[in-house]
Structure 1
Amino acid sequence: MTADSGGASQVAIVLGTRPEIIKFAPVIKACDRRGVDCLLVHTGQHYSEDLDQVFFDQLELPTPDYNLEVGSRSHGEQTGRMLEGIEDVLDEHAPDVVLVQGDTNSTLAGALAASKSNVDVGHVEAGLRSFDRDMPEEVNRVVTDHIADYLFPPTEETRSHLERESVAGEIVTTGNTIVDSLYEYRDLAAEKSDVLSDLGLQEDDFYLLTAHRAENVDDRESFARLLEGVSRFAAQTGREVVYPIHPRAQSRLDEFDLTLPEEIRTVEPLDFLDFLRLESAAALAFTDSGGVQEETCILGTPCVTLRYSTERPETAYVGANCLAGLDPDDVVEAGSTMLGKDADWDVPFGDGRAAERILDTLAAGVEPDAAEVSP
């Protein structure tokens, strides 16, 4: 797609969190290769440089044209401030399409602002469903899908959700841009990252833990049960757990006066290459993150999900992931099931060309079927 190709001449990308930066990186670079004017709007939803600017630097992405610096607030206040700021940007620039990704408050605000400004909306990673409306992310992704003019589901499963809901926009199955990113950067992470030696770790001799979801860490009992289950499994199998701790989770540990079990070592939030290296080298990952479920599946690391539902069921279908919930006995059982599992599963998220398919679709304008390729 180019500025005079008959498709969109200016694409605005709204993002605000680490996963959005990583998953939009291939799209931003594809715009650059094709000469498409890409207006980058950062909401500032992640307000720590450890979780933010370092990812732009390592992924060699341009500095955002706008940073709204919204920061951490209640869901309503945060989304409202984003909506106001994004609307101002769109009024000034009038792009042809706004792209949002995933299910964050930045995603919802970008889609709402574009819709109210009569700008087309494209939703990257559309159609994911946990079927748990208690999750704020589930509401965000459902609303965004029903606003969007272009929907880019990563798999046929996610496409089927959209078709059942009779969304109004055009649907094009593209694969997931996380595959594009990991295929590009995993070798660089192995070459450049010193995180294993810095932390005194040996490959395949430690577990990785990520836990930050509100329903897990904002409730003392839930957080304590999660930590107990992971630490019990680590103690039984004689491996250490490395926990790059999110600021939200650290504040809750302090607030609840929870003492971490000796098997779990917290470290500061990691940059993209270091975290990618840990995901690749871990014997097993425990997580409540949808993104980590995807990433470990792609990288060949078995995963245990510390939730009762997932919007990435494909990871479980292919045998890369197991839902455990929070009961310590169930966490231990799930860990035993997944530890040592051969990574012979098929990656269900595409072939690493999702960004190209997205831009092909936008170039085709209202003719997305011509751009569609099964991932």
Structure 2
Amino acid sequence: MTSSTDRTVAVVLGTRPELVKLAELIRLLGPAARVVHTGQHYDDALSGAFLDELRLPEPEYLTGVGGQPRAVQVAAALAALDERFAAEPPLAVVVQGDTNAALSGALVANARSIPLIHVEAGLRSHDRAMPEEHNRVVIDRLADVLCAATPQNRALLLAEGVSDERIAVTGNTVVEAVRDNLPPRRERARLLGGLGLEADGYVLATVHRPENTDDPAALSAVLGELGAISRTLRVVLPLHPRTAARIEAAGLRSLLDGMTVIDPTAYGTFLALARHAALLVSDSGGVQEETTVLGRPLVVVRRSTERPEAFADFAELVAPGPGIGEAARRRLAEGPRGLRRLASLPSPYGDGTASRRIAELITRVIPSDTPRTAVPGPLVAA
């Protein structure tokens, strides 16, 4: 006899971006999905409005992971997941991207000989200073099915010696995430009006990565450049709590003067703001993908990127400092014609059916000796 959890696919995640990108896959799996949240980015909002916005069930939460150093996060999540999967083994494990939660899920799946599916496989920055680079390389080595978002990701995996039969080019689930969560035009107009914004009349900025926030000099440089932009065009800055703490600790609060600083927003609200921004300035990996779906220009403030596909048309990569303002002025000078050009281009991340492709791939790795009564049928919900 099998328990209900014997019939499930464990989706292991730990951050809001993972929830966003895996939401459609979880919905497609329906009752077969067992969502386990390691708590890497856990806060009270995750168990309320955010999950409601994404139309997701409450996950199983692990404890003792959030707020810990990287090694402690991985070790704590690894031990808790191993205990759960030993007692109630899933049919397969799905992880997305390169977080500590994804690494923990991959290691447990490998240790327990459970089929592992890696969503967003094959991203590479070739920057060993980036912890995520180590995570994604290890996960790709362990995965049974590597869901590469683009042909370039597939090529990188092949160059590393990953066998072709383990790789499938699926597109990136970010495309359907953006399309599903972008509010209707009327609601977007209401959101902009509430902030006193006009379409194409402001810059939207986000800053949260350690390379830009942990070093006071780098943080000062980024905020200084955003402040300079705000003297000619309004800058809207949803302020990440971690960044806010670093600003206070470094005594840089005055550098926010002149900017429109708001609390972190719901995902749909952020997409609405991004859709109508004349330009985005961000160090986020997800924003690099989202702007290609929204057709907006982006200045990426980072040393390196694992998403080069966005840089053919949509984005420019700059280090903290004067390059931010220079790139911003260059993209803003393209004006309405530049925005129309980007809006006409397809996203390099696919056609919006990645989640369905991945769900179908999952059914292929369910162990062949699994009793049919133990497999939800069909695995992919209608």
Aligned to 1:306: 301
Aligned to 2:380: none
Q: Which amino acid aligns with 2:16?
A: R
- Worse-superposed segment, 117-126 or 334-343: 334-343
SS class of match (2:90): coil
TM-superposed deviation, 1:248: 0.9
What's the Cα RMSD here?
A: 2.1
* Identical positions, percent: 40
Q: Which amino acid aligns with 1:257?
A: G
- 8 Å Cα contact 1:231-1:264 kept in structure 2: yes
Aligned to 1:332: 325
Q: How does 1:105-124 map to 2 (within 5 A)?
A: 105-124=100-119
TM-superposed deviation, 1:214: 0.6
Q: Which amino acid aligns with 2:237?
A: Y
- Worse-superposed segment, 127-136 or 256-265: 256-265
Matched, 1:40 2:35: yes
- 8 Å Cα contact 1:227-1:260 kept in structure 2: yes
SS class of match (1:260): helix
Q: How does 1:240-251 map to 2 (within 5 A)?
A: 240-251=234-245
Matched, 1:75 2:70: yes
Aligned to 1:98: 93
Q: How does 1:201-216 map to 2 (within 5 A)?
A: 201-216=197-212
- 8 Å Cα contact 2:237-2:260 kept in structure 1: yes
After superposition, the C-alpha distances for 1:26-57 in whole angstroms (9 at most, x for unaligned) are 1001112xxx5111101111123346743211
Aligned to 2:29: 31
Aligned to 1:197: 193
| Structure 2 runs not aligned, ≥5 long | 368-382
Provide the C-alpha distance between the structure 2 equivalents of 1:38 and 1:193, rounded to a whole number of angstroms. Answer: 36
TM-superposed deviation, 1:274: 1.0
TM-score normalised per structure 1: 0.89
Aligned to 2:220: 224
- 8 Å Cα contact 1:50-1:270 kept in structure 2: no
User: Closer, same or farther in 2 for the Cα pair 1:29/1:311, shift >3 Å?
Assistant: same
| Structure 1 runs not aligned, ≥5 long | 368-375
- 8 Å Cα contact 1:321-1:338 kept in structure 2: no
User: Closer, same or farther in 2 for the Cα pair 1:59/1:188, shift >3 Å?
Assistant: farther
User: Closer, same or farther in 2 for the Cα pair 1:52/1:313, shift >3 Å?
Assistant: farther
TM-score normalised per structure 2: 0.88
**Alignment equivalent of 2:134, drawn from 135, 139, 148:** 139
- Worse-superposed segment, 185-194 or 297-306: 185-194
Provide the C-alpha distance between the structure 1 equivalents of 2:46 and 2:283, rounded to a whole number of angstroms. Answer: 17
SS class of match (1:196): helix
- 8 Å Cα contact 2:92-2:366 kept in structure 1: no
Q: How does 1:175-186 map to 2 (within 5 A)?
A: 175-186=171-182
- 8 Å Cα contact 1:43-1:70 kept in structure 2: yes
User: Closer, same or farther in 2 for the Cα pair 1:185/1:25, shift >3 Å?
Assistant: same
- Worse-superposed segment, 249-258 or 69-78: 69-78
Aligned to 1:280: 275
- 8 Å Cα contact 1:17-1:52 kept in structure 2: no
User: Closer, same or farther in 2 for the Cα pair 1:167/1:209, shift >3 Å?
Assistant: same
**Alignment equivalent of 1:57, drawn from 36, 52, 55:** 52
How many corresponding residue pairs? Answer: 354
- 8 Å Cα contact 1:193-1:274 kept in structure 2: no
Q: Which amino acid aligns with 1:13?
A: V
SS class of match (2:246): helix
